[in-house]
Amino acid sequence: MKIKNLRKDFTENSLDIHYGMALDLTTLEQSIKILRESVDDNLRNGTNFSPLQQDTFRSGIIQNFEVAYEVCWKTMKRWLEENISKETIAMCTRKELFRYAGENNLIDDVALWFSFHKARNSTAHIYSAGIAAEVYEAAVRFVPEAESFLQNITARND
């Protein structure tokens, strides 16, 4: 395996060797923050909205979920490419990508991420209130998982 971007950090009593490259996590942080804020605001104030306002707000949350989910898995993929192998990760399905992320302690519940992927895919086919409600619920469940992913990748992003 070819090692790219080898970096040496000298500390007081040791030599730490890091493989890969630190990723810019700004977009990830922002997308998760916006989703968190919109979900929290809806949970806090949603009962004060008219049915049309509730539907509009939930549609916005679903859109925020789409963005945050996409940024999460793409950041996950970039980290794995830098720290595992570009060749290995390039050939992965999304489920395999989540399995690698779980094995590398980036995510805690691989099966739950499979369900987020399914919910994200169904956003292209929201023709009914039932599907929209399911995706909204997935978005609410996604927030703490995305925040955990952000915390885990931040800790390992060197």
In angstroms, rounded to a whole number, what is the distance separating the alpha carbons of residues 52 and 157?
42
24-156 belongs to which CATH class?
A: mainly alpha
Alpha helices (H) in the chain, listed in sequence order:
26-45, 51-83, 86-90, 94-103, 110-122, 129-156
Residue 155 has pLDDT above 80, yes or no: yes
- DSSP type of residue 37: H
Amino acid at 126: I
**Domain extent listing, the chain:** 24-156
* pTM for the full predicted model: 0.84
Token code pair at residue 123: 């956003």
State both tokens at 17: 């060797």
Give the mean model confidence (pLDDT) for residues 14-37: 79
Reported as a pLDDT band with limits 50, 70 and 90, residue 15 is very low
Q: What confidence score (pLDDT) does residue 127 get?
A: 72
Give the whole-angstrom CA distance, residue 138 versus residue 134. 6
